[in-house]
Structures are given as structure tokens and as C-alpha cells.
Amino acid sequence: MILNGAEILVECLKEQGVDTIFGFPGGAVLNIYDALYKYQEDINHILVSHEQGAAHAADGYARATGKVGVCLATSGPGATNLVTGIATAYMDSIPMVAITGNVTRPLIGRDSFQEVDITGITMPITKHNFMVRDVKELPNIIREAFHIAREGRPGPVLVDIPKDVTAQKDSYERKEPKTVEVSDKYITEQAIEKAVKLINEAERPLIYVGGGIISSGASEEIIEFAEKINSPVSSSLMALGGFPANHRLHTGMIGMHGTKASNLSATKCDLFIAIGARFSDRVISNEAHIANAKIIHIDIDIAEINKNINVDSYIIGDLKEVLKRLIPKVTPKCCDEWLKKVEELQKLSIPQYENSDAITPHYVIEKLNELTEGDAIIATDVGQHQMWIAQYYKFYNPRTFVTSGGLGTMGFGLGAAIGAKAAKPDKKVVCVSGDGSFMMNCNELATAVSADLPVVILVMNNHALGMVHQWQQFFYEERYSHSIIEKKTDFVKLAEAYSAKGLRITSKEEVVDVLKEALNSDVPVVVDCLIEAERKVLPMVAPGAPIDQLICE
């Protein structure tokens, strides 16, 4: 059939199983929006308040489902407003396709109105990007973009389409999406046998899992592997939920704000098995902590091997496939003495809270965990509240924790929560934020209300940029330069102005009742939870310090 470029684009999105797009219209994408009007029964378009919110929502949609998230923006400032969201997805290996409009082809390169070289700008933060020069190229480019976003190590792809290409007409023929092949061409028997030898010889193994176990859907295999060799399992921030928090072998998060059990076990193990993790500086700030251990690295991306830390053995490939081949070859272990030692360290990890009448972060989050039974999708912004969630909320299943790990994007949480709720309308979705982060993209409350997406926004309000404030106390001799927030914004009134519900927690006695009301609401809710600015995220490892040198008070 003969269609214009915009209609071909939408047909190709339908081919790829796209049911939701997050976007904001503008001149260069008017033809696309006209096509979306015609296809509104097939694809749900959610109008955001700002293009950055569209990118974060597409990201949240992808994290909650494993499918490719899609966002759409016009040329120039519309396209550049996507950049932070694209970078966020890139750093955390999230599959996303960002579609941007551009000026007509004759005007490209002339500094035309709302023209920008978005492919040049996003080249370092995408797996690949395309500019469509002819409508005949459009179908295959869209198909390839989705394939690239999903294959291997996932990530964002950008497709830039000049306006006149969306008006051109051409024939269209539907095709089935290309199957993503399991990445196993680099999995060699030699690599498997070398890893097996190290595992079988180890007496004190420690598994360190990263976000790759969620991307690959390898959670069940990780559990089987850990149980077979009786190895404790520590998680990066991105891996939370990939290994059940209530499993007997789980030691919790590892790294700068990791548990004592995870961090100290890393200094005492004789084999450190990293699976789907990249040895981030927030995990391995000083490699001296595991200098005495052999290291195995299993990852889909060969570029990560020996990048941040030198290893003794590695296997390149899809984690699920690697573990399927590895598990039958390893010898079952007891590791009784090692597990007893780790169990002692786990007891040290149990926080000793003061008996306080004040509203403490751990109390609020533990009550949130109880009320949701650990079955909600929790999205966060970035800062102290993010680390408190990682420490105190118990994640039992993959794709229930949506957070910006690599880029650390303040303002990510609400947009991501909207995307997660659009993807999983039957799940409770809670965005846990700080007052600094929430102010960055609070305008997306209008999106949540207009799209009828009843998310809960729990603002841990300490009238400070909490993590900045904490670092200034520890490392800058308490010079609190611009980390105290003097804004007089009333978050309850702000919520009501957006036609959401606003609630406030001012005492410990109110926590449970207010959270219950928020969770049971059928409209978006902002909960302004007042906490003290002096509350810290502990334990903490100072930047560059060995992982076992924990600041605990």
C-alpha cells in the first residue's frame, strides 16, 4: 500500500509491538502527529510536560517491561531536551528508541529555525543513530533501530527524520520483527573450563551481580548457580531485585553505601565472581580490597573486560546462556566455614536504630515495604533517598526497581514512574524522591494527572540537597555551600494545583495512615514527608578508599 513517511513510521512501530509512545509535538513532527491521530486506536500517545520527561518515561517503561521504550520530540530544543534521558538509558543499558524530527532536507546545515545536529550530539550516548535521508530507507532504519536497541548489551538508538521525509510517499509492506539471537559466539569451551577450575578450587567464593542479570532474564540461573556452589551474593544498585532480598545467600548491596556483609566479604573471599556488572567506581573505588582474590568476569560486552579492573578469567556472552553451560560443570560446595563467617558479617549489617520519635528514613521505607508487601514498582530520583530505598526496601523480583544508576540523574524518578505505570497499570508504582530532585521535573505531575496514571510520589523532604550536604559535612569541613534549600514551595498545594492529591507527614504516628491513603488512591498523590537534614546514608565508603573502610557514624 502507498503511505506517506509518517504513516510508514507508525506502521513500523506497530510491527515492533509498540503500544505506547511518550512525546511532545512541534513543527518538524506535525506529520508524525497527524499519523498518530489516525492510528490512535493502535498506539497510545502520552503527552508529557517536557521532552526530558518523555525520555525518562520511555526509559521507565523499558525497565519495567524489558521491551523497547519509545519517545518522540521535534527538532532543535525538542531533540536536545531528550539528551539527558538518552544518556541515562545509555549508562544503564536500557533499550530505547528516540525519534526526532528535523528541518526539511534542503535546510539542513544552514542554521535553520530549530535546527540542531542531534545525531552528532548524541553519538557518544547512543548505541547507534540514524538520519533518514529518503522515505525508501525509513522502514528498514526503524526495524534496525529496534533490533540494535535490543540485541547484545541493550541501549538507546536515535532516529532523526527530516520533515519532508515524513511527507514523502512510498509503498509499504509489513515485515515481522527480526529475532534477537542469543549472544553466544564468544562463549568458548576454554573460557568455561578455566572459570570452572577457579570455581571448583575456591573455598570462599563471592558472587557480585550487576544489572546484566536483569537485562538477560538470568535471575533463576543466578539463584541456581549460587545455591550449587553455596556462594554469598552481593548486588550492585542496578541488580536489586535480580536476586531475592530474602534469600539466605543474599548479603545486600555492595559498594559506597553497601552493607558491611557485602563489603567485608569482598575483602575476605578467595574468588570474586562478577556477573553482568562493570566494576563501577561506586562499587570498586579502590581495587586493593580484592587484591588477594582471583577474579572471574562474565559479561555480554567484551569492552568491559579488564577495563576497570584486571581479571584472572572471563567469559563473554549472554549471561543466561553462559550460566546454563557453566552450572552443570561446577562441583557442588558446602563452604560451611565461609558461610558461617558471612552470616556473622550479616548480623553486623543489621542497622541499630535509635529509639526516636522523629520521622526517620528507615522507618518510613520499612513501612512502605510492609504496606506494599515488596510487590510495588519503586522508582527513585538520585540522592540520599535513592540509597535509603536500596538499603531498606526489600526487592524480591526483577524489574521492580527503577533508578538511574550510572548517570545519577536527578529529575528521573517521576517521568520513569509514569512510564512504569503506563506499562504496568495493575501494579502499585511509587516514586521516592527528595525535595531537590522532585523540583527538577515536578511539572510531570500534570502528565500523571492528565493520563490518569495514579502514581504515588513520596518526597523525603529535608529542605536540603541531602547527599551534597552529607559530603560537605564529611569532606568539606561542614561548609554547606548552597546545599540548604531555602525554597518556600508547599508540595501539598503544588500537588493540588496540578489536580493531584497532596498529603503531608509531620510525625511518626502519621506515617502508616498517610501511606495507606496514598497507596489506595485512584489519582496521583504527592506525600510531603518531613525529615531532618542531618540524617545520613550510612555506612559509607569515602571516594577512593578501600571498600572495607566504612564510615558508620
Contact 412, 88 (CB under 8 A): yes
How far apart are the C-alpha atoms of 248 and 223, rounded to whole Å? 11
97-140 pLDDT, tens digit each: 999 999 999 999 998 999 999 999 999 999 999 999 999 999 99
Q: Are residues 316 and 374 in the same domain?
A: no
Do residues 365 and 325 both lie within one domain? no
The whole-number pLDDT of residue 403 equals 98
Residue type, 403: T
Query: Do 378 and 490 have their domain in common?
Result: yes
User: What's the Cα-to-Cα distance from 79 to each of 41, 43, 160, rounded to whole Å?
Assistant: 26, 21, 9
Cα–Cα distance, 276 to 165 (Å, whole number): 40
Among the candidates 316, 349, 382, a domain finishes at 349
For residues 41 and 167, state if they share a domain: yes
pLDDT at 347 over 90: no
Position 226 scores a pLDDT of: 98
Same-domain check for residues 427 and 448: yes
Within a domain: 550: no
Percent of the chain, pLDDT > 70? 98
The answer as to whether 262 is a domain residue is: yes
Alpha carbons 34 and 86: distance in angstroms, whole number = 25
Q: What pLDDT, on the 0 to 100 scale, is given for residue 106? A: 92
Mean pLDDT of the chain: 95
Is 92 among the domain residues? Answer: yes
The residue from 320, 349, 378 where one domain ends is 349
Could you tell me if 416 and 402 are in contact, meaning their C-beta atoms sit under 8 angstroms apart? yes
Cα torsion 517, 520, 525, 528 to 10°: value is 30
pLDDT of residue 395: 97
Mean pLDDT of 496-500: 98
543 domain residue, yes or no: no
Q: What is the DSSP string of 454-473?
A: --EEEEEE-SB-HHHHHHHH
Same domain, 343 and 488: no
> Regarding predicted confidence, which is higher, 389 or 357?
389
Let me know: does 181 contact 246? Beta carbons within 8 Å: no
For residues 305 and 395, membership in a common domain is answered with no
User: Does any domain span residue 146?
Assistant: yes
Instruction: Tell me, yes or no, whether 137 and 259 share the same domain.
Output: no
Confidence of residue 407 (pLDDT cuts 50, 70, 90): very high
**48, 2, 49: which is closest to 21 by C-alpha?**
48
Clarify whether residues 162 and 80 are in a common domain. Answer: yes
Domain limit, last residue, from 314, 349, 384: 349
Sheet holding 250-253: strands in order across?
Answer: 250-253, 233-235, 205-209, 271-275, 294-299, 313-316
Q: For residue 487, give the CATH number of its domain.
A: 3.40.50.970
For residue 98, list its beta bridge partners.
Answer: 71, 158
Query: Does one domain contain both 374 and 310?
Result: no
State the pLDDT confidence band at 353, using cuts at 50, 70 and 90. Answer: low
- The set of catalytic residues is 51, 113-114, 163, 467
Rounded distance, CA 178 to CA 131, Å? 21
Whether 342 is in a domain gets the answer yes
What Cα–Cα distance (Å) separates residue 413 from each residue in 58, 384, 444, 458? 12, 13, 10, 11
Do 424 and 449 belong together in one domain?
yes
The domain that contains 241 carries what CATH number? 3.40.50.1220
Query: Which residues is 379 bridged to in the sheet?
Result: 402, 431
| pLDDT on residue 291 | 65
- Please name every residue paired with 296 in a beta bridge, in sequence order, or none if there are none: 273, 313
Mean pLDDT computed over 523-530: 98
Q: What pLDDT, on a 0 to 100 scale, did the predictor assign at position 184?
A: 82
Residues facing 3 on adjacent strands: 170
* In 407-455, alpha helices (H): 413-423, 435-441, 445-450
Interval 4-22 mean pLDDT = 98
Phi-psi map region of 114: left, alpha, beta (phi>0 left; psi -120 to 50 alpha): left
Instruction: Identify whether residues 458 and 310 lie together within a single domain.
Output: no
Q: Is the pLDDT of residue 287 over 80?
A: no
Q: Tens digits of per-residue pLDDT, 157-177?
A: 999 999 999 999 999 999 999
pLDDT tens digit sequence for 320-346:
999 999 999 999 998 889 999 999 988
- Residue 111 three-state SS: coil
Question: What's the structural domain count of the chain?
Answer: 3
pLDDT range class, residue 355, cuts 50, 70, 90: low
pLDDT of residue 285: 76
| Mean pLDDT score, 237-247 | 97
Q: What is the structure's pLDDT at 356?
A: 73
- Give the domain extent around 157: 2-171
Q: Is residue 183 part of a domain?
A: no
pLDDT tens-digit readout, 27-58:
999 999 999 999 999 999 999 999 999 999 99
Residue 408 covered by a domain:
yes
Confidence band of 290 (pLDDT split at 50, 70, 90): confident
